[in-house]
Amino acid sequence: MGDILITFTNTGSNCRMEGFPGVDLKTNYGTQSVDRNKQEVGIPFTLKAGKRATANIAYPINNTGGSGVRGTALVVTPPNETHQVTVPVSVSLPVSNTDEGKLEVTPVFQEH
Query: For 17-58, what is each residue's pLDDT tens digit?
Result: 999 999 999 999 899 999 999 888 889 999 999 999 999 999
pLDDT bin (cut points 50, 70, 90) of residue 68 is confident
What is the C-alpha separation between 22 and 37, in angstroms, rounded?
12
Neighbours of 100 (CB within 10 A): 8
28 Rama class: left (phi>0) / alpha (psi -120 to 50) / beta: alpha
This prediction has a pTM of 0.86
Instruction: Give the pLDDT confidence score for residue 101 in this predicted structure.
Output: 58
More confidently predicted of 47 and 65: 47
pLDDT of residue 89: 95
Q: Can you give the pLDDT at residue 112?
A: 72
Percent of the chain with pLDDT over 70: 95
Which CA distances in Å does 81 have to 14, 25, 60, 70, 87? Answer: 15, 18, 28, 28, 17
CA distance 88 to 108: 20
Phi, psi of 54 (to 5 degrees): -135, 160
